[in-house]
Amino acid sequence: MSKDTEIDLKEVELNELDPEKQPMTGDGQAAAAEKNGSVKVKVPEEEVTFTGLSKDELMKVAGTPGWVRTRWVLLVLFWLGWVGMLAGAIVIIVQAPRCKPIPAMSWWNEGPLYQIPDVDAFSDGIEGVGAKLDEINQLKVKALILGPFHTVQKDQKETLNLEVIDPLMANVDALTPVLEKAHKKGISVVLDLTPNYKGEAPWFSPSSVDDDVIDKVKAAAEHWIGLGVDGIKISDFTLASKSLEWPKLQAAIQGNRTEETKKKVLMGVVNNITAAQLSLLANTTGIDLVLSDLLSKTEGKQRIQDLDVLSSQQMSMGWGLGATQRDQLSKSTGLIRLYQLLLLTMPGVPVFTYGDEIGLNAQGGESPKMVWDIEKEPVDGAAVNETAEAERKERVSVKKWFKTLSELRGKERSLIHGDYYSLYSSESSLAFLRLWDQSIRYVTAVNWGTTPEKITFALTPTEGVELPETAEVTQSTDEKLEVGSSVSLDSITLEPGQAVLLQFPYTG
């Protein structure tokens, strides 16, 4: 056998012994151009990525006439668009209704005032007042009016000491924490410094004011304001303002006012004067806030006439029913919800006495004890006095009504300082409109009479003010006028002793 033949045989044997070198084809035959055991690998061609134009190329292209024209067109369109948007914004601003400037207001104009003439009516006296400040704060009141509780014997001028608290009623060490806690909650504190508060004549004389007494009130005002009190209140302001020493008292409270300091209020109480006389006092005496008994002395059309006279001076007008005598609403009327709504929506500052928020029953000469924890329901299974439980539920309902109205008054500009327009009045009912600029408008209607009253709303033609066809019921004591329902503003019928608050939007 030749040498070449031996080599070929060896290759055949090796191919048979090495299966890995067999061709990987379906028919077991290797491709003619391939050797056994070899694998073809396809190497991808090198990918070419676009890297953009170079700086020189860009500069060359950018200078062509086409791109120059394009850039100018885009630049002109940009500035035309910008100028167009600016012009559109100016047109919108010019055509939009201008907001009416907010009138000058003080803190006592922002919500109801809550007077506590007898701190003994609270558990633990003045300390009890401090303990209940959280609950009082829920009523959205802006100030407490405390006292009078200074030292004096009835009709004994020589025992008057306005800078000392009667130890049977309170003490200064207990008052200071109350001041601090109230201020933290945004509640101001006013002291009643009526000199002869235990006697019939607040200034010891029904016809004149002793200059020495005025001087004592002035010194006491400076003393208490120095301890953190936010103002003073006095009774029979009509008489006091006639004293030659009145400017000194006024200066002691109002003389140091600056934009950086909180104002101190000078508050006076008047009785048995007309709306015209009250207006004159407010204009000529420099009083900050005057509380009158007009609402409890007049009825029917006279009430609406008084409101017409005094509505323009609402920032210095305080209103209450029984408040001038430091009495509860219940002592003057049984229509608690009606007068709560009226006081909290009419122009001016509403003044309530403790317990008015729950309809606390006040009969006779003694101050009633304040009732707390009325939301606490009887324990399951415990014996329940049905009469007491019904009274508790009624107090809860009255308090909820008060809180709703007080919160509404504190946030709606129409009710805080809005303009006032009379809509209707009779001997037993009245209605009026409150509005401010572009805010929601409110209509109050009340019927304190004993028969149903058809109230026809009529607005004296006034530029920019008109009534829509319908309004929405916001609050109502009349079951026929459901909250959220729509009623006609042509007329509504109120049942005896009922009240309703309506609202409608500003429409431009």
Mean pLDDT within 373-377: 91
The HSE-up count of residue 30 (CA atoms within 13 Å, CB side) is: 15
Q: How far apart are CA 257 and CA 181, in angstroms?
A: 24
Whose structure tokens read 């401090």?
Answer: 130
pLDDT at residue 70 in the model: 87
H helix intervals, 140-274? 172-184, 211-226, 237-240, 246-254
Q: How confident is the model at residue 64 (pLDDT cuts 50, 70, 90)?
A: confident
pLDDT at residue 3 in the model: 47
Sheet holding 486-488, edge to edge: 419-425, 429-435, 441-447, 498-504, 470-476, 486-488
52-56, 448-452, 502-506, range with the lowest pLDDT: 52-56
| CATH architecture for segment(s) 422-504 | Sandwich (2.60)
pLDDT at residue 40 in the model: 59
Mean pLDDT within 109-121: 95
Mean pLDDT, the chain, rounded, equals 88
93-102, 282-291, 296-305, range with the lowest pLDDT: 93-102
Residue whose C-alpha is closest to residue 206's, from 215, 191, 196: 196
Mean pLDDT within 473-481: 96
Q: How confident is the model at residue 12 (pLDDT cuts 50, 70, 90)?
A: very low
Q: How confident is the model at residue 234 (pLDDT cuts 50, 70, 90)?
A: very high
Q: How confident is the model at residue 305 (pLDDT cuts 50, 70, 90)?
A: very high
Q: How far apart are CA 216 and CA 45, in angstroms?
A: 108
Mean pLDDT within 12-27: 47
Contact 363, 334 (CB under 8 A): no
Q: What are phi and psi of 210, to 5 degrees?
A: -70, 130
| pLDDT exceeds 80 at position 391 | yes
More confident residue, 335 or 8: 335
Q: How far apart are CA 165 and CA 420, in angstroms?
A: 42
Each residue's pLDDT tens digit, 400-416? 999 999 999 999 999 99
Q: Is 111-411 a CATH 3.20.20.80 domain?
A: yes
Mean pLDDT within 436-459: 96
Q: Give the E-state strand segments of 62-218 in sequence order.
A: 113-116, 143-146, 150-153, 156-165, 188-192
Beta carbons within 8 Å of 189's beta carbon, 6+ residues apart: 143, 144, 146, 178, 179, 182, 183, 228, 229, 230
Q: What are phi and psi of 101, to 5 degrees?
A: -60, 140
26-40, 52-66, 456-470, range with the lowest pLDDT: 26-40
Q: How confident is the model at residue 91 (pLDDT cuts 50, 70, 90)?
A: confident
pLDDT at residue 37 in the model: 52
Mean pLDDT within 13-27: 48
Domain map (residue ranges) of the chain? 67-95, 111-411, 422-504
pLDDT at residue 378 in the model: 86
Mean pLDDT within 356-370: 89
CA distances from 32 to 23, 29, 340, 450 (A): 11, 9, 111, 122
Q: How confident is the model at residue 482 (pLDDT cuts 50, 70, 90)?
A: very high
Secondary structure (H, E, C), 153-191:
ECCEEEEEEEEEECCCCCCHHHHHHHHHHHHHCCCEEEE
| pLDDT exceeds 50 at position 216 | yes
pLDDT at residue 102 in the model: 85
- The three-state secondary structure class of 461 is coil
pLDDT at residue 38 in the model: 54
Q: How confident is the model at residue 34 (pLDDT cuts 50, 70, 90)?
A: very low
CA 265 to chain CA mean position, Å: 21
Pairing label, strands 143-146, 113-116: parallel
280-304 in b/e form (b: 16+ CB < 10 A) is ebbeebebbbbbbbbbbeeeeeebb
Rg (alpha carbons) of the chain, rounded to whole number:
42
pTM, rounded to two decimals: 0.82
Residue whose C-alpha is closest to residue 481's, from 468, 467, 462, 495: 495
